[in-house]
Structure 1
Amino acid sequence: MKYGFAEFVASLTNDFNPVIGSGYTHEDYIAIDLSAKNPQLLKLEQLSSEAFSVYIDHNLKIANKKIAYGGYAEVRNLYQRSQLFNENQEQYLNRNIHIGLDIWAPAQTEILAALDGKVHSFQDNTNFGDYGPTIILEHSFQQKTFYTLYGHLNRASLESLEVGGSVKAQQKIAELGAPFENGDYAPHLHFQLINDIANKKGDYPGVASEKDLSFYKQNCPDPNLLLKI
């Protein structure tokens, strides 16, 4: 069996490897479904970030949990509210398949580096429905270089960064942003693995169309292979 990028990333950690700090434990997490198949979202799909926050908080309260996560390869209708993901009228070209892992936590929650590495790039992606402040780290293990992306941060997270600056695993690198600065979403981290980043800096697609999904699933495998939530 060929040993690919997904298997390589999975081999780098043995246990739960958090990217959310602020004292949360593994037991605080619960999976949440934000896919187009979830009937509870039918009334929320075109509504505000506040409505999504209420929905997520309600699910956490029922489960007696503090952090929600999920969304890899999930088909979502919520992107219909933004032209960023609907650049062509033909449905098959529209981007609506999420290729990162979302972790839903309060604004200003600490964000941790998943692994040792260095700052590759950062940028405030200010389009409605975009990442908002974003950090990309570069990692090198076993002569292999790859990247992790952290999106929907607060603007203060970018203020003291320097390209090439070193980071250690579990070091605080940022904080989550509120809707007014994170692309207008309920506060959460978009965490993504990237094998080949090409010439991208401070940004990389986090939502794919069906026609491109095969490429992105290979280049950006499930982040939970690394985080093991």
Structure 2
Amino acid sequence: MKADGMFVGAHDVYTNNLQFEQLTVGAIFSNMQHFKKVVKEYAIRQRFMFVRSKSTPKKYDVRCKVEGCKWRITGTNHMTCVLVKSFVPDHTCRTKLRGNDHPLVTAAWVAQTCLRLFACPDDVRTRIIREYIKMHWVQMMRRNPGSYMRVFRARDLRPRGDDRFVRLFWTFGLSIWSFHRTLRHIILVDGTHLRGKYLGILLIAIGVDGNNGLYPLAFGVVEMENEDSWRWFFMLLRQYVLTAEMNIFTICSDR
């Protein structure tokens, strides 16, 4: 089956199964591996981390990673299946992971999550996988109406480019709304190096409110800070935040 046709079929599968498997006391799962997978996906959706408590080969007991939080769940082997013996669903902590990144979202997890969608995995294109993950696990566009996020690959920016990730631009709908109605028409721009697992340069545009408070407007992640990357960032800033009708504004930078 061709990838385009497969995409339609896969789309029907996960559109008709938006209700993820529920975690409740008395719920039954086919085996321990299945139960662990559901707990992991629950933690990804709810934006928190958990740690093992008193797990054994026949018992899987985990709790919220934040010390003192009451969230926990326990599943035990029951005949030929796994039974949820206890579940405290409410968190007493206020800590949630920020951003879209999550330590539990690994390449292996993405592959395993998408594998069941396709009858012929060898013919699956990366575009289909990105669409699935974006639809169900990236919530920025759904939770923030009016927001914009664009991912650029090498082939989107340069002739003969490949499918590698190169740049990312995003802005929140509320930021755009506030800039046009409540903020001064002043934009501060700067860039800084990203450190850690993912390297690159973070570009940012910041607005100023009536009390001289700083208000984030737009963000960009680029491979390096140069004239080309800044021109790209300003072009998208103009397109999505300033709009063509706005002609009076001031841009400040440390350069």
Shared fold (TM-score, shorter chain, > 0.5): no
Q: Higher helix fraction: Structure 1 or Structure 2?
A: 2
Look at both structures and tell me which one has the larger radius of gyration over its CA atoms: 2
Between 1 and 2, higher relative CO (CA 8 Å, sep ≥ 6) is seen in: 1
TM-score by length of 1: 0.28
TM-score by length of 2: 0.26
